[in-house]
C-alpha cells in the first residue's frame, strides 16, 4: 500500500482512495493509514522551477531608472520599447522604472 519512489498524481489519488476505503472498513489501523498518507505527501512536491535560458536584459537600478525617466521627459514621443532598447533592458523593466516601481 505504501508507494515506493515517485508516482504520478493519478496513481497517488488511487492510493489515497484505497487507504480511505481500507480505513473506513477497518482493514487497516489509523496509524497505518497515517503512515501511508505521510509517504504520499512527497508525491505532491514539485521540483523548483529552474531558469532555462540566461537573462538577456540587465536589471534596472535606481541610477538607470533615473536616466530612463530623464530621457522620457526629454523625448516624450519615444516609446517605452525604444527607451528600453536604448538602455539595454526590456520594456517591462523600463515601464516599471518610468512608473516609479523600481
What digits encode the pLDDT tens for the residues 43-90? 777 777 777 778 788 888 999 999 999 999 999 999 999 999 999 999
**Model pLDDT, residue 56:** 81
CA angle, residues 19, 34, 37, in degrees to nearest 5: 60
**Statement: residue 31 has pLDDT above 70:** yes
Has residue 18 been placed in a domain? yes
Has residue 51 been placed in a domain? no
**Number of domain units in the chain:** 2
Residues 94 and 66 in one domain: yes
**Model pLDDT, residue 2:** 46
Has residue 2 been placed in a domain? no
| pTM (two decimals) | 0.48
Q: Is 37 helix (H, G, I), strand (E, B) or coil?
A: helix
The x, y and z cell numbers of residue 36, run together, are 501511508
Domain that holds residue 80: 62-98
Has residue 52 been placed in a domain? no
**Residues contacting 80, CB < 8 A, separation 6+:** 91, 94, 95, 98
Has residue 19 been placed in a domain? yes
Has residue 86 been placed in a domain? yes
CB 44 within 8 A of CB 12: yes
Has residue 1 been placed in a domain? no
Has residue 76 been placed in a domain? yes
**Model pLDDT, residue 20:** 95
CB 30 within 8 A of CB 60: no
pLDDT band at 4 (very low <50, low <70, confident <90, very high): low
Amino acid at each position: 500500500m505504501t508507494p515506493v519512489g515517485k508516482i504520478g498524481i493519478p496513481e497517488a489519488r488511487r492510493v489515497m482512495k484505497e487507504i480511505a476505503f481500507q480505513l473506513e472498513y477497518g482493514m487497516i489501523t489509523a496509524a497505518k493509514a497515517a503512515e501511508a498518507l505521510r509517504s504520499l505527501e512527497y508525491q505532491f512536491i514539485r521540483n523548483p522551477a529552474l531558469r532555462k535560458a540566461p537573462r538577456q536584459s540587465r536589471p534596472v537600478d535606481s541610477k538607470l531608472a533615473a536616466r530612463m525617466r530623464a530621457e522620457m521627459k526629454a523625448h516624450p514621443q519615444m516609446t517605452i520599447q525604444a527607451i528600453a532598447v536604448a538602455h539595454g533592458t526590456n520594456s517591462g523593466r523600463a515601464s516599471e522604472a518610468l512608473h516609479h516601481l523600481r
